[in-house]
Chain A
Amino acid sequence: EPEVTQTPSHQVTQMGQEVILRCVPISNHLYFYWYRQILGQKVEFLVSFYNNEISEKSEIFDDQFSVERPDGSNFTLKIRSTKLEDSAMYFCASSGAQGETYNSPLHFGNGTRLTVT
């Protein structure tokens, strides 16, 4: 069964550095998402992406964050000038094959654990 893959599984960075988290969504999906989860707590929406542009973003997703789909397969989340409170699990998800809508279920990757020291 196709799956969403995320790399790296664990990223350690120093405060103030930039990190790029990478995701390969399911190949025929059209909608892409980033979520984060701090220490097994609530899963928080960051951003959704469709047709090469941001569809919706949360209040968490400020100028420190950006997303990109640089080619036909990758979907990246860039965090500039990382802060201690950015430490979390970051999950990529995709949904919606051709003909489907946002209302289809999300398929999640296994996440990148980001640790900011």
Chain B
Amino acid sequence: SQQGEQDPQALSIQEGENATMNCSYKTSINNLQWYRQNSGRGLVHLILIRSNEREKHSGRLRVTLDTSKKSSSLLITASRAADTASYFCATRSSGSRLTFGEGTQLTVNP
């Protein structure tokens, strides 16, 4: 898989449902981060999980990391219409470069 492959590409759910999106990467990492992008805007950092962590929570967000499978998932619980956005995972290996995945477009229908 390519660094930062994400699936699904697009996800449409009803308000109140949970949304799960996945990210896979190729090389070893120091950390993995998730960002959100509203249409036409910059990316906003959501959560960072280090390579020695397996799960992390922040409000309605839950991120898991499986370094043996080189994969991560982002769960948004009790989704709201305002959660509609694109979600990107990003990995940092060594050095300064943060490499972004291709994104999942989430639509939450009211």
Contacts and interface: CB of A to CB of B under 8 A. Distances in A.
B contacts with A: majority SS: strand
Contacts, number: 61
B44 A108 contact: yes
Interface residues of A, number: 26
Interface string B8-31: 000000000000000000000011
Contacts of A11: none
Contacts of A55: 95-96
Nearest to A91: B42
Given A103-B31, A108-B43, A48 B97 contact: yes
Given A105-B48, A106-B43, A107-B45, A43 B92 contact: no
24 contacts: A40-B86, A42-B100, A42-B103, A43-B90, A43-B100, A43-B103, A44-B100, A45-B99, A55-B95, A56-B96, A56-B97, A93-B43, A102-B92, A103-B92, A105-B45, A105-B48, A106-B35, A106-B43, A106-B45, A106-B98, A108-B35, A108-B44, A109-B42, A110-B40
